[in-house]
Amino acid sequence: LKLSSEKKIKYAFPIDLFKIAKLVNLEINFIKNFSSLKKYTFSNEEISIICDAIEDHSFSQNRIPRTIEGKILQDADRLDALGAIGIARVFATSGSLNRPFYKIDDPFCNDRKPDDNHWAIDHFFNKLLKLQSLMNTKSGKIEAKKRTKVLKIFLKQFKSEI
């Protein structure tokens, strides 16, 4: 993920959080396994920062990251859920779980609480449309605004077609 308007952040040590996060598959239980990062010659301090960032980034954890690295990772993770790629992910996931696109009698959750365990479109209302207001960095906020606009345009078009 490229945070286009964010200038390169200078670290006291070179660290690529995005590469590391992919390497460890963004699993919180990874924190218990420091040895997998030791083989990449990270210091204990670097491992601690990486683990804190991974632990804090998850939407479901409802945490504000403690470090700038955690904030960047959380924004990157949230940006991946927005825009055209986010829309594709919603329907790919829902399709693999055999979930219908929407609830026929109330597709846009006007008279009910969104339930994204049952309907794909509900995920927009349950999570995706909330992400823009939860971004941590200036560049994350700028990019989230653009990608949220894509979601809203999609929903407007979707509504016109059903």
pLDDT tens-digit series, residues 69-117: 888 888 888 888 899 989 998 988 888 888 889 888 998 989 989 988 8
- Output the CA torsion 99→101→103→109 (10° steps): 110
pLDDT in tens, 38-55: 666 777 777 777 777 777
**H and E: helices and strands count for the chain:** 7, 0
- At 13, is the secondary structure helix, strand, or coil? coil
Question: pTM of whole model > 0.75?
Answer: no
Give the residue among 92, 120, 124 at the shortest CA–CA distance from 104. Answer: 120
